[in-house]
Every structure is written in C-alpha cells, then in structure tokens.
Amino acid sequence: MINITFPDGAIRQYEKGTTALDIAKSISEGLARKVLAAEVAGQVWDATRPIENDTTLNLLTWENAGGKSTFWHSSAHLMAEAIESMFPGVKFWVGPAVENGFYYDIDLGDRSISEEDLRKLEVKMAELAKQNNAYVRQPISKQDAVQYFTNKDDEYKLDLLKGLPDGEITFYTQGSFTDLCRGPHIPSTGFIKAIKLTNIAGAYWKGDERNKQLIRIYGVTFPSQKQLDEYLQLLEEAKKRDHRKLGKELGIFTMDDDVGPGLPLWMPNGTIIIEELEKLAKETEKDAGYKRVVTPHIGKENLYLTSGHLPYYQDSMYPPMELEGVKYYLKSMNCPHHHKIFAAEPKSYKDMPLRLAEYGTCYRYEQSGELFGLMRVRCLHMNDAHIYCTKAQFDQEFRAVNDMYLKYFKIFGIEKFVMRLSLHDPAKLGQKYIDEPQLWLETEDMVRQVLKETGTPYIEVPDEGAFYGPKIDVQIWSTIGREFTLATNQVDFAQGRRFKLEFTNQNNEAETPLIIHRAPLGTHERFIGFLLEHYAGRFPTWLAPVQVKVLPISDKFIEYAKTILQKLKKWDIRAEIDDRSEKIGKKIRDTELMKVPYMLVIGEKEVAENKVSIRRQGKGDLGAKDADEFINAVKEEIAQRSAE
C-alpha cells in the first residue's frame, strides 16, 4: 500500500500502482467524470498513470489551470489526428496549449489550407472525439523513436528527438495518431465536446525567419457546447471592446515606428485619464500616510548588482549604456531607487512605517513578438510604493494595502477578483527561499488572516513564493468576464539586508526593516487597457476625457451655448462646444461616437427658458434642467467618482 496525501492534508492508503482516476472514482463517479489530469508530487501527470510511491496528489479538472492546459494540449493531438487523416504525408512540428486554446505548427509541403478546410477539420475532430479513444502513454527507446520517425520521413520530430536524452522519451497514441510527446494528456478524446478552429497563421520553423515557414492552426475546445458558445460570445464582445481599436478611436494613445515598439505615446485624451488615475492614487496614498518621491529612470550597474536584478533579471532589462567606463541601466523596477532614499538619512523606529510612493516609469524588455497594445509593453508607468516597517507593524500595513485594493475595486466596479497567494516550501528554505522559517510562517499567516477577515477571495499556491517572501498576484475580471493580471504584492525579507537598510529600534539596536512592495493600480498601460475593455470606452464621468459637450441646434444659439460652456469650465468640468454648422442629429451622433457622458442640447426653448436639455451617453434624453442644477449634479458625480 502507498500513502496518498491530499491538498487538505488528509492521508489515505491505496494499492501501489493505483491511478489518479481510480482514486477519483473511489471518491465519486461524478468527480471521476471531471478529472482531466493530476498533480503528483507537484508534477502534472496523466490521470491514468500508475502511482508507485507515497506522494501528494491534487486532482485536476477544468477549473484548474493545469487541467485546462492538459485538455487543450490533448485537443492539439486530436486536431493533428484529423489533419493527418485529411492531409496524408503532413509533417508536424510542435502543438502546445496556449492561453486560450492550442495550436499546431505543420508542414503541408506545397499544399495550403483554407477556412473551409478548418470547418471540415472541426467535423473530423468531433467524429474522432466521439470515438472516445484513450490517450495511451508509451515509454520508448531513443533508437526506436528515431526509427519510427525515420520511417515516417518526418525531419521535424527527428530534430526534436536530437535534444532528448534516451530513457526519458515517450510516445502518446490516440486512435490512429501517434506523437512524440512528454505528456500529460486527458484520459480519452470523449472529454472534448465542443471544438472551434479559430485561425490560420504562418510561423517560421523555430521562430527563425531564415527557416521554412510552417502553417500554424489555432483552435479552442471545451467540455461542453455551452462553454464554447459563451466563449465565442465573449470573443465577439471583446473584439468590439478591443483596447487598441478604442484607444485609437478615442485618441487615448498611439504607437510610432520611430519611437519604438511597445512604447505608447499618450495623446491628450489618454493623458487626462492618466492624470485622473494619478490624482486618485495620490489622494488615496496621502490619506494612507504615504510620502511621495521622484527618482531617475536610470541607475548604475552596481545598483542592480546590489539588488540582485543583475544578472538574474538581465534578460528583461534594456541593454546598458556605457559612459565614462560605467554601465547605466534603464530601471526595470523602482525598488532600488526607493531603498536609496530610505538610506539617505538615518532612521529610527519613530520614522517607521515609512511608505514611499512614486508613479515610477520602468522599462522592461519584452520580445517584439510578445508585445500587444497596452497589455504587453516595454514602458510601464507603475503605481508603485514601498512600505518599510517593523515586524510588529506588518499586519496593520498589509491590512491597509488590502483595503486600498478593495477600495479601488469598488471605484472601478471590479466585481470579480482573486488574490493568488504564493507560499514557500519549507523543504526548500535556504535554496529557493530565503532561510527565515519563522518569518515565512508568520507573514504568510498574517497575510492569510487579513484575506480571511476581510472576506477577500483568495487561493493559496504552495511553492510559488518569491525568493524573498510571500507574493500575491491580483487577478481581476472585466465586465465581459475576461481575466487580467493587475498587479503583484510582495513581502520582502531580503532586499533590506542586501541594501544594508537599517533603523534604530527601541532598544537602540540596528534592525532591518521588512519591505512591502505594492502597486494596486498596476501600470497605467495595463490598467487603462483594461478599463477601455471594461467600460467599452464609456468611461464614468470623472475619467472621461470630455465630460460634457454643448450642442447648439443652430448658429443662433452659439452665444448662449458659450455662456454654458464657460460656466462648466469655471467649475473645472471638461467641456467642449460643437459649433460646426451641422444638423443636431449629426452633432449628437458624433458625440456618441466619442462616448462623451453628457450632451447639452441648446435650442430656442432652452434659451427662452434659460435651461439645458440633457442627453446621457447610452441612455438618451433626460429632459431639460436649469444649468446650475445640472452642473451641481455633475460636480457631485465627479467628486464622488461615481461609476455611472
């Protein structure tokens, strides 16, 4: 018998050679029908693979990232089977799961593939899925594997084999298709109930443009048709809300080849949103006792050797500039600069906690191919701050940070969010994790308590903490249900020591502070990208670049309209006038397109009655009101940062 430890700590005994699927069945048939794979001793395995030793076990379903990616990887094999049946002689390169689905890179020789072919492939895949063929794992010697693909005349798989050590090679077979694959896979093809092949693209072999161009076919699959329908609807909605499209239409940001990829230029409308966000952050941080600093965007090599960014993080940094024999780097994080400000003057316990905030601009190198609108950029305006505190202050400080997140979620109408708390593994102290067993347990527990007590949704992830302390990744969902990683919080036991930061404690001894890294609004780039989708460009009034547009029905009313405009401006309401000689219908349509929250229509009646007729974006006519009454209501709406 072997001992199986479950995630809740329970230990049960099973026959040696049992499988995750057997174990699931022993719990319930319903569970077994959902199990796609299993985490065995921290590694994702086939649910059907025999377990021979004592181990930890975590059953993976569609709800787990590991379950989902296994499902999609198996779907890539299913697609390959369908392709091979339709295009005999096709050669296969690699077919991984990706963020939303999977792809396979294939070589069709001189043949090409059409949208129509994709529809046929979907039908074929559905047919093969119905056969409910098992994914069968088969360890194989390198010699036999090479023989197999030599017979198949598949130079791509032979190339892959070159890099694999003998003894670790496995084949997977489902139905009539066999692939070189280290797995894992779902138990059988019958799990795949809904299939959509989404895209055909070209992809150079090994990503090198000097190589042959292969055909990449993208697809996505689900355990039910309902999930696929929902997903396609989400895609449709997301397309309408694409932040790149809206960003251009609304004059939010632009990119320029001469400036460089991943380096957005913020246009006047985008800059208004940036300034409103910064105003919110500065107000919030001031109330929470933060002090602001401003630091340069570069630092000497030595700074990043001290911080440890060099050499470990070098690949994500811009290359250095060498000046007077010294290497300077664009900063990829603000912490080293803030630590230097902490260290600039002697500190005592009376100075603690010290909270240093800066909307610091960092530069990170992302590969050109990875760049995506505002979501993946090389220039990041970060809502950054570092809290230097004593151990005794940690609980309260972390609680305050968590409250700040919750406050922001409320303001922005973010209803679904999860804090992903990454913990250490006690077995790896001193190696993967800084060797402070007590501090780890204490801070992890304090974080956990705060999350529990505030009812903050969170999940715990063992063995994914940062080197220097527990880490919280904040996941949020937009109104249409797409998931975004907003920000990361980190507890840091290590940097204080690396930078020799000290304060004199009440016993007159030098003590190293704990550091909390936090950035609740993430970066302007990602957050405004998120908000564009979240609001579909219809920003709440406080964030809208133009808040009120005054629309005179004809030229005779321009004068009166201008007096209204002046009143609005006097109260710092961002207002414009449309004084073109256009029909009022066109003026309204154009203003709707720019998603301005309020339109004030001015005609004969309004002038006579000294009123304004109000139209609310997306809601239509709200009737006529006294101008001052309207202004007071809008002022209040803006001051409250109302969501509507």
Q: What are the residues binding a second copy (CB under 8 A)? A: 251, 254, 256-260, 263-268, 270-272, 274-275, 291-300, 302-303, 306, 318-324, 326, 328, 330, 336-337, 340-341, 344-345, 356, 361, 363, 365, 368, 379, 381
Residue closer to a second copy (CB basis): 367 or 454: 367
For the CB of residue 537, give the shortest distance to a second copy in the complex, in Å.
Answer: 17
For the CB of residue 496, give the shortest distance to a second copy in the complex, in Å.
Answer: 16
CA–CA dist 186, 472 (Å, integer):
30
Buried b (16+ CB within 10 A) or exposed e, 259-292: eeebebebbebbbbbbebbeebbeebbeebebee
For the CB of residue 182, give the shortest distance to a second copy in the complex, in Å.
Answer: 31
Residue closer to a second copy (CB basis): 426 or 571: 571
Residue closer to a second copy (CB basis): 159 or 572: 572
CA 7 remoteness from chain centre: 26
Residue closer to a second copy (CB basis): 136 or 267: 267
Buried b (16+ CB within 10 A) or exposed e, 235-253: eebeeebebbebbeebbbb
Residue closer to a second copy (CB basis): 328 or 440: 328
Residue closer to a second copy (CB basis): 298 or 411: 298
Read off the amino acid at residue 385.
A
Residue closer to a second copy (CB basis): 162 or 210: 210
Q: How many CB atoms lie within 10 A of CB 359?
A: 22
If you compute the radius of gyration of the chain from its CA atoms, what whole number of angstroms results? 29
For the CB of residue 124, give the shortest distance to a second copy in the complex, in Å.
Answer: 41
Alpha carbon dihedral 270, 275, 278, 283, in 10-degree steps, equals: -150
Residue closer to a second copy (CB basis): 341 or 400: 341
Residues with Cβ within 8 Å of 279's Cβ and at least 6 positions away in sequence, in order, are: none
For the CB of residue 380, give the shortest distance to a second copy in the complex, in Å.
Answer: 10
Residue closer to a second copy (CB basis): 267 or 288: 267
For the CB of residue 595, give the shortest distance to a second copy in the complex, in Å.
Answer: 17
3-state secondary structure string, 240-281? HCCHHHHHHHCCCEECCCCCCCCCCEECHHHHHHHHHHHHHH
Residue closer to a second copy (CB basis): 40 or 330: 330
Candidates 552, 536, 553; CA nearest to 544 is 536
- Given a contact cutoff of 8 angstroms between Cβ atoms, the answer to whether 478 and 470 are in contact is no
- Given a contact cutoff of 8 angstroms between Cβ atoms, the answer to whether 120 and 86 are in contact is yes
- Given a contact cutoff of 8 angstroms between Cβ atoms, the answer to whether 489 and 420 are in contact is no
- Given a contact cutoff of 8 angstroms between Cβ atoms, the answer to whether 95 and 215 are in contact is no
Residue closer to a second copy (CB basis): 95 or 270: 270
Residue closer to a second copy (CB basis): 297 or 391: 297
Residue closer to a second copy (CB basis): 241 or 339: 339
Q: How many CB atoms lie within 10 A of CB 42?
A: 11
| Angle, CA 457 vertex, CA 454 and CA 458 arms, to 5° | 110
Sheet of strand 43-46: strand arrangement:
11-14, 2-5, 55-60, 37-40, 43-46
Residues with Cβ within 8 Å of 112's Cβ and at least 6 positions away in sequence, in order, are: 215
For the CB of residue 318, give the shortest distance to a second copy in the complex, in Å.
Answer: 5
| Angle, CA 362 vertex, CA 361 and CA 363 arms, to 5° | 130
DSSP strand pairing (55-60 vs 2-5): parallel
Buried b (16+ CB within 10 A) or exposed e, 584-605: beebbeebeebbbbbbbbbbee
Candidates 345, 382, 342, 346; CA nearest to 364 is 382
- Given a contact cutoff of 8 angstroms between Cβ atoms, the answer to whether 382 and 523 are in contact is yes
Buried b (16+ CB within 10 A) or exposed e, 430-465: eeebbebeebbeebbebbeebbeeeebebebeeebb
Read off the amino acid at residue 122.
E
Residue closer to a second copy (CB basis): 444 or 525: 525
DSSP string over 105-134:
EEE-TT----HHHHHHHHHHHHHHHHTT-B
Residue closer to a second copy (CB basis): 300 or 635: 300
For the CB of residue 463, give the shortest distance to a second copy in the complex, in Å.
Answer: 33
Candidates 593, 611, 570; CA nearest to 578 is 593
Q: The tokens of 525 are what?
A: 């780039």
For the CB of residue 260, give the shortest distance to a second copy in the complex, in Å.
Answer: 5
CA–CA dist 149, 503 (Å, integer):
65
